A and B are shown apart, each in its own frame.
Chain A
């Protein structure tokens, strides 16, 4: 079967025959896909940066935020329409590049896109700006004078990972603050960002040149294909939003001028807490079911995905029994949304993790076990003794740890402060607030319900930062200037 070919990226002002193309190959079962990604020279990258800057100056900056929201909303409406050609492409090919179950991708996209409708976008802006008008013009400041927010002069995105359509987050952030944007595709998911740029140009043609999507090899792009283009772009950017492992983020930061604003989002380590109140015969199976969804979604590849569930002892349903419920739910979900086939190296990592659990067992005595058949496409490791917060092998491998009190977990997670982000909690309101205070102090930035860990709500603060505020700089007209201007008015007495 000859593979399908898709030309990825988005290059306003550049013809397809003017740039070099690199081919990335993907295969799932009998479906094969070749994705051509653009590799730009330094001169081409400079010209591209100039073009998006100029276009944004003309078309994006003068656009009121309300109209930008309206344009994004129309694009998102099309992505939610299962008959739309862009949506059909996404449903057809994102499962092939990512390897995820097609139904999982379909449900995930719908759930994700619907958090970008107009109402949600307005909420998103309101989260960061008490008066969203500051993005359009000078607004009176409570202290006196006036203030206006300006987005970056050139925003560069470096996407990573294979969670489908993840680039939408930063692209929307850039648009809302009216920034000309150039994004670098992740080799593991090189499709969505280019499609979104094209779709946006369709629904609102003046935006066609305000956005570009390119590729180079590796995260830092300091050597290899497209390195010259990458260097040219990084030299021009005034703000860089980057996703990836800490090592590649560090390498990227080192090559940026000190004046460039760098907004890194590293890999994270999610976990869940299940309190006694949630562990009676009626509630526990339901909580386990929700927890299993968080493990299943994108096979644990999200920054918010759980690795460990700490479960409190002393309730009618023991932590060990909760682990069994969780295992049963993972087995059920496997029938609906099969885990993607693992490559040899990934399989080896899963086996290594399983074996480490197996070898720990006799030393600990007790009930420590690996639940489920060793070759099942999921596995639950139960431990009756306190275990540190540590990553599992992903791909639906999850640890359940029995604890005397949930408070005992706090020092364990605090030890991994730099990797904390999402914690799922199933507990009564008072416990929720008390734990939230402790976890927040420990470094957790997002607390959600079980089942919602992998579905952040609209307007969430990614890694505890202000998604939009972090991108802008404020220009203030101080009161003194206002007052001093008065005598110069033509109508001055």
Chain B
């Protein structure tokens, strides 16, 4: 077995564990760091500029965090390109900017990471649920990690009657309403999963037809990704209040998933009864909150930029610097939005306005 295959095998075994110790996490993180440092030239030169070497990186938090912009600027990969690889790309919402790319030589690790975590955090012990997916399928969006994630949710955890309600012709409201009615009638719990903005469209559609549902106990909703300018901007409080009211699903069963194309593991909350909800991940991902310029961890109680060390990211880089603001909370972290709005305080042009003007 070559080095990569051996790593993948060990990684799959690691994910299959129920938990791990700090030592176990560090050990695998450092093995992955060594592998990526040796086989990923752009990452190696990044580390060298940061003064990080195989000798002085001693624990996972020493691994230099790669900014997510780097996924746009270069190919961050350890294995060479191959015919069977999958490439997930960021949505590229910011005008002319290039899209970030995450190369997966195979999806075994991603899939196990997703299913192990999803089973625990969303399925909560249920084996299968009847699912409605509010997102295009993998054929329509082969480079979307979310499309793959939802397809996997449907195939691994959905009952045979589960289906997509977002077609090339748009949202199939009559079809979705029929499924919701059927669930109400039969008393079999239903799961609705999709992009946050698609759920806004569903709510708008229900309101337009004056419809609402009381889905049976055990029904649940998963939203992810925010609105991305694809629907009206709804404050989170209104979003969950409306979801709960229109579909009859308690807010404790409205779960938000926080994921990124640049990662292979997701974070979930325990419902959104109180906002902002606490997000947490499984034992193979760890996070830090850092001060962006120095990269040092922030003092307890202070906001910081989230850094994630995701061991399932074996081919790209384990440790990434996000643009998301977080705050530690009991059992995880609060996600406080993106670090933007750094608009000029004075009269000098700020990057944000410049980029918007260029995109217009």
Which residues on A are within 8 Å of B, measured CB to CB?
Answer: 160-163, 166, 188, 243, 245-247, 265, 267-270, 298, 300-303, 305, 307, 342-356, 358-360, 362-363, 374-375, 390-394, 418-419
Contacts and interface: CB of A to CB of B under 8 A. Distances in A.
Nearest to A301: B346
Contact of A161 (B70, B294, B295, B345): B345
B294 A391 contact: no
A166 B345 CA distance: 13
A351 B357 contact: no
Contact of B348 (A246, A268, A348): A268
23 contacts: A161-B346, A243-B347, A267-B344, A268-B349, A300-B346, A301-B346, A301-B348, A303-B348, A343-B342, A344-B303, A347-B291, A348-B325, A349-B351, A353-B351, A356-B69, A358-B49, A359-B69, A363-B73, A363-B74, A375-B293, A391-B348, A391-B351, A394-B348
A362 B73 CA distance: 11
A347 B339 CA distance: 9
A396 to B, nearest CB: 12
A26 B326 CA distance: 23
Given A268-B348, A419-B349, 18 more contacts: A161-B347, A163-B347, A188-B345, A267-B344, A267-B347, A298-B346, A302-B348, A343-B342, A349-B350, A350-B293, A359-B67, A390-B351, A391-B354, A392-B351, A394-B344, A394-B348, A394-B350, A419-B354
Contacts of B50: 374
Interface residues of B, number: 39
Contacts of A356: 69, 73
Interface centre among B46, B325, B346, B352 (most CB of A within 10 A): B346
A391 B345 contact: no
Nearest to B51: A374
A359 B74 contact: yes
A166 to B, nearest CB: 7
7 A-B pairs with least C-beta separation: A301-B346, A348-B339, A303-B347, A351-B292, A349-B342, A375-B294, A359-B73
A349 to B, nearest CB: 4
Interface string B270-288: 0000000000000000000
Contacts of A160: 347
B286 to A, nearest CB: 21
A391 B345 CA distance: 14
Interface centre among A265, A267, A298 (most CB of B within 10 A): A267
B18 interface: no
A245 B356 CA distance: 11
B223 to A, nearest CB: 25
B159 interface: no
Contacts of A375: 293-295
B323 interface: yes
A246 B346 contact: no
Contacts of A305: 346, 348
Given A347-B293, A348-B339, A362-B42, A246 B345 contact: no
Given A348-B342, A374-B293, A375-B294, A355 B69 contact: yes
Interface in B293-318: 293-295, 303-305
B73 A360 contact: yes
Nearest to B70: A359
B84 interface: no
B41 to A, nearest CB: 9
Contacts of A345: 325, 339-342
A268 B344 CA distance: 11
Nearest to B289: A344
Interface centre among B293, B294, B321, B341 (most CB of A within 10 A): B293
Contacts of A362: 42, 45, 74
Interface of B: 42, 45-46, 49-50, 67, 69-70, 73-74, 291-295, 303-305, 321, 323, 325, 339-354, 356-357
Nearest to A300: B348
Nearest to B74: A359
A313 to B, nearest CB: 25
A451 B296 CA distance: 35
A168 to B, nearest CB: 14
A481 to B, nearest CB: 45
Contact of A301 (B45, B304, B347): B347
Given A350-B292, A351-B293, A352-B323, A269 B349 contact: yes
A407 B356 CA distance: 28
Contacts of B343: 245
Nearest to A244: B347
Nearest to B351: A391
Contacts of B305: 344, 348, 351
A393 B323 contact: no
A267 B349 contact: yes
B317 to A, nearest CB: 13
A305 to B, nearest CB: 5
Contacts of A360: 73
Contacts of A363: 73-74
Contacts of B342: 343, 345-346, 348-349
A339 B349 CA distance: 18
Given A359-B69, A360-B73, A347 B345 contact: no
B80 to A, nearest CB: 19
Given A161-B344, A301-B346, A348-B342, A246 B294 contact: no
A97 to B, nearest CB: 11
Nearest to A245: B353
A421 B349 CA distance: 11
B304 A246 contact: no
Contacts of B295: 374-375
A393 B344 CA distance: 9
Nearest to A160: B347
A245 B352 CA distance: 11
Interface centre among A166, A343, A352, A358 (most CB of B within 10 A): A352
